[in-house]
Structure 1
Amino acid sequence: MTPPGAKPLRAVFLAHTAAPSGAELATLRLVSAMPAGRTAVVYTEDGPMLRRMAERGIETRVVRNDFDSRAMTIDKAGVGSLLRGGLGLLRLGWRLGATMRELGATVLVAGSSKAMLMGAVAARRAGIPLVWHVHDRISAEYFGQWLATAVRLLGWLAVDGYIANSRGTLASLYTWRRRALVAYPGVEYRSVSEEPESGRREQRPAAETVVVVVGRLAPWKGQDLFLRALADVRNLPREVFLVGGTFFDEQDYRRELEVRATALDLPVIFTGHVEDPEPYLHEADILVHCSVLPEPFGQVVVEGMRAGCAVIATRPGGPEEIVEPGVNGLLVDAGERARLTHALDTLIADQELRTKLAAAARVRARDFDVAESARQVTEFLTTVPGKRWRHG
């Protein structure tokens, strides 16, 4: 509810990339479910997400950067290039502030750490609150210790509130005296056929099982570990789909995976990037999520559960907040090859267990309906206060 005397909500989401990665797709689902006409999305580069947003009637703008933000990639940039990139983000933020005014923004929502830096300047120039929508764990595993600490501190100094995609992500931030909300990314339910008890064929017998792994082909996503674990199972599935493309100079990793799959004589099909992995999820009996680092949330786990897969996922991380082990899926410790093999053996061999877990998984997935996340986020953004130094 909008407080008395306040302007109606006009939330502008800021993204530093228009590539269709997890955070951008989560934003697409969220904004689509929020009240029509109360949102807009601003990108700092062209890309496929502009088309996807336009297809859903969502207002978008592009304010192009005048520097290569990829130079700030954490594992490649030195201190000097990080500082230069940071200055470039601040300059772009000043231009973005004018765009926020043009759009009539009442709150700016930054969808990444880079967007948060730009948004700090843009929100101050526009005189509106800044909320950081955090899709990644701000931790040493991803950023390194000193940079993780710096990003947490910068976030705390810059923002008026946080939206985190899981409790684990929220715990990786400094949130003292800042408003915070955990809003799961959510899945879209569009028809009666997606209700938990309908529209799904039976699980196949052991020799006919189909396994799917969905996610960007990147070392931290654990596809190499999965292939080595799969090679040790007692009975190979009939077919395995590795669904996902490569981004950010990771093509060599895909080639390594292809060589390994061939050398181990595994029934693996590499699909490359697909716009919508849902057909593969509906075709599969088992979904494997095998990240070797803590997953911020694990959107594909929910999507697999909604599709009626029996799910194996890794912990710690977001999947612990999704899966109840032995009830609606199985959890294994990240990086534990032998435990992953055991879980695969268990599910491949036991059609009845797969059927039970998959049925419970479809029910559990309803708890992550994006409509509920959108309601929570809308209420939060309507009431988040600005800093005292803002005027007008």
Structure 2
Amino acid sequence: MKTLIVMPSASCHGGAEAALLHLIQQRTAAGLELKLVFLESGEMVALARDFGLEAEVIHAGRLRSVRAVFSTVRAIREVIQAWKPSIVLGWMTKAHIYSGLAARGTAAAPMYFQMGLPDGGVVDCLARLVPAAGALGCSEFVAREQGAKVRHPVKGVALAADVSHASASASPAELKKKLGFAPDKPLVGIVGRLQHWKGMHVYLRAMAQVVKTMPAVQGVIVGGVHDQEPGYLESLEKLRAELGLTKVVSMVGRQTNVPEWMSAMDVVVHASQREPFGIVVVEAMALGKAVIATSPGGPEEIITDGEDGLLVPWNEPDALASAILRMLQDPAAAAQMASRARLRSEDFSTASYALRTASALRSLLPAVPAAA
């Protein structure tokens, strides 16, 4: 199935970019013939070419420039007319503004991949005005949210986590010592870029309650500052001090060896508000960790509460603290959940994700009338 993917970003800095690379890697097994158009230059262009794909760069410029938009649409249309794909897939809603318009009047079916929750921002609103044969959402949760705002069908496609190398290099105790923590004390951590919706402040408030019951507990926040919320780090540091957690919870910034940090943790917390999917959740489960995540959101489709992890309502520190204590005070039950979590994570391999994506795209293709 010939599919032209239009990608607005060419920098490897998020889940949407990782999802594209996973699809590229597994495209042959999924029966997909891909070609890429990037709307900016960046390292992903070279990566795509290294995987044997034809990748073009069409510099889109600023969306607010009408002239630049029309020029980009025209250039994408020329690629469509020359390559003749069955589908033109905008990777994220911003891309669909260009690719959907470019596909009009051609034989290619315009579609897009909704990688986050729909919002009232200019980009999402403009994208919803562009006709589409259908769309993909990065979870059933996202598909339902987007489906309520558009007339075309939206199919949920759970993303993948590359868990092929999900094995700890050492025991949790050894890793704790290596990373500067007491090896004989429990470690509860949270991983993610520092954004308010990621809920690090909720984690801190929960930890303030946990330490009252288990004074020996240690905590860690792994993640760097997000460009759009530079002040969140300062607010977290202030809250940590107010709660008396300066010596309890470490804030270690962005780390390149995140699996090692998660492997050192006894409990991995994911406290996001309305998480679209939850790749970190799958990664932690693949490492055989006791995982606590929030609902509503994508994690509800990953974790079966009480079976392979725990789910708590977002922004409820009391509930999160109770869940953390449940894991720490009953290590046998936590170990059972962690074991089942490792098995569950296998459902989110890159290979199964590519097959899900290809199947959803085929189901959205308009029916071709039978010959008379």
Q: TM-score, structure 1 length as denominator? A: 0.79
User: Match for 1:154 among 129, 144, 150?
Assistant: 129
Question: Are the counterparts in 1 of residues 7 and 92 from structure 2 also a CA contact under 8 Å?
Answer: yes
Paired residue secondary structure (1:232): helix
- CA distance in 2 between counterparts of 1:280 and 1:29 reads 23
The match for 1:375 among 352, 355, 361 is: 355
Is the Cα–Cα contact under 8 Å of residues 206 and 237 in structure 1 kept in the other structure?
Answer: no
1:10 paired with 2:5, answer no
**Residue in 1 aligned with 2:198?**
221
Distance 1:260 1:383, change over 3 A: closer
Closer/same/farther in 2, CA of residues 309 and 118 from structure 1, 3 Å limit:
same
Distance 2:110 2:10 in 1: 21
User: What amino acid maps onto 2:45 in structure 1?
Assistant: L
What displacement does 1:374 show?
0.9
Any unmatched runs of 5+ in structure 1? 1-8, 70-83
- Opposite residue 236 of structure 2, the aligned amino acid is L
Q: 1:66 aligns with which of 61, 64, 82?
A: 61
**Other-structure match for 1:78:** none
Q: Give the percent of matched residue pairs that are identical in Structure 1 and Structure 2.
A: 26
Residues of 1 paired with 2:123 and 2:366: CA distance? 26
Measure, in 1, the Cα distance between the counterparts of 2:52 and 2:123: 38
Give the drift of 1:123: 1.7
Residue in structure 1 matching 2:164, options 190, 200, 204: 190
**SS at 1:224's partner residue?**
helix
110, 121, 136: which one pairs with 1:163? Answer: 136
Q: Which runs of 5+ in 2 are unaligned?
A: 177-181
Give 1:88 shift. 4.9
- Match for 2:6: what amino acid? L
Correspondence 1:290 to 2:271: yes
* Residues 223 and 47 of structure 1, relative CA distance in 2, 3 Å threshold: farther
Name the residue aligned to 2:188.
211
Contact kept in structure 1, 2:94 and 2:127, CA below 8 Å:
no
Partner of 2:179: none
The whole-number CA distance in structure 1 between the counterparts of 2:53 and 2:23 is: 11
Q: Which amino acid aligns with 2:35?
A: A
Structure 2 vs 1, CA of residues 151 and 115 (structure 1 numbering), >3 Å: closer, same or farther?
same
Matched, 1:258 2:201: no
Match of 2:220 in 1: 241
Q: Deviations over 1:145-176 (max 9, x none)?
A: x997x468525xx1112212211111112378
Look up the match of 1:75.
Answer: none
Equivalent AA in structure 1 for residue 235 of structure 2: E
The reply on whether 1:35 has 2:12 as its aligned counterpart is no
8 Å contact from structure 2 (residues 157, 360) kept in 1 = no
Please give the alpha-carbon distance, in whole angstroms, between the structure 2 residues aligned to 1:349 and 1:107. Answer: 52
Cα offsets for 1:205-231 (capped at 9, x unmatched): 996222231222111111112112212
Q: For residue 10 of structure 1, what is the amino acid of its counterpart? A: K
State how 1:97-112 maps to structure 2 within 5 Å: 97-112=77-92
Deviations 1:85-124 (A, max 9, x none): 6775454223222234455533111122211111111222
Aligned length: 353
| Matching residue's letter, 1:172 | E
Choose from 278, 293, 300 the match for 2:280: 300
Paired residues of 1:230 and 1:236 also in contact (CA < 8 A): no
| Partner in structure 1 of residue 327 of structure 2 | 347
Residue 365 of structure 1 is matched in structure 2 by 345
Query: TM-score by structure 2 length?
Result: 0.82
Question: Which piece of structure 1 moves more, 101-110 or 116-125?
Answer: 101-110
Counterpart of 1:281? Answer: 262
Q: Secondary structure at the match of 1:137?
A: coil
SS for the counterpart of 1:312 is strand
CA–CA separation in structure 2 for the residues paired with 1:230 and 1:300? 20
Q: Label 1:368 to 1:40 Cα distance change in 2 as closer, same or farther (>3 A).
A: same
**Other structure's SS at 2:190 match:** strand
2:189–2:220 contact (8 Å) kept in structure 1: yes
Aligned mate of 1:123, from 103, 113, 120: 103
Alpha-carbon shift at residue 201 of structure 1 (Å): 4.6
Q: Which residue of 2 aligns with 1:268?
A: 249
Task: Tell me the distance in 1 between the aligned counterparts of 2:113 and 2:251.
Answer: 32
**What is the Cα deviation at residue 347 of structure 1?**
1.7
Tell me: CA distance 1:255–1:104, structure 2 relative to 1, closer, same or farther (3 Å).
farther
- In the alignment, structure 1 residue 94 sits paired with structure 2 residue 87: no
Aligned CA distance change for structure 1 residues 56 and 200 (closer, same or farther; 3 Å): farther
Q: Is the 8 A contact 1:90 1:117 kept in 2?
A: no
Cα offset for 1:362?
Answer: 0.5
**Could you say what the CA RMSD is over the residues aligned between the two structures, in angstroms?**
3.2
Name the CA distance, whole Å, in 2 between partners of 1:24 and 1:45.
13
Structure 1 pair 22–237 and aligned structure 2 pair: CA distance change class (3 A): farther
**Distance (whole Å) between structure 1 residues aligned to residue 69 and residue 348 of structure 2:** 34
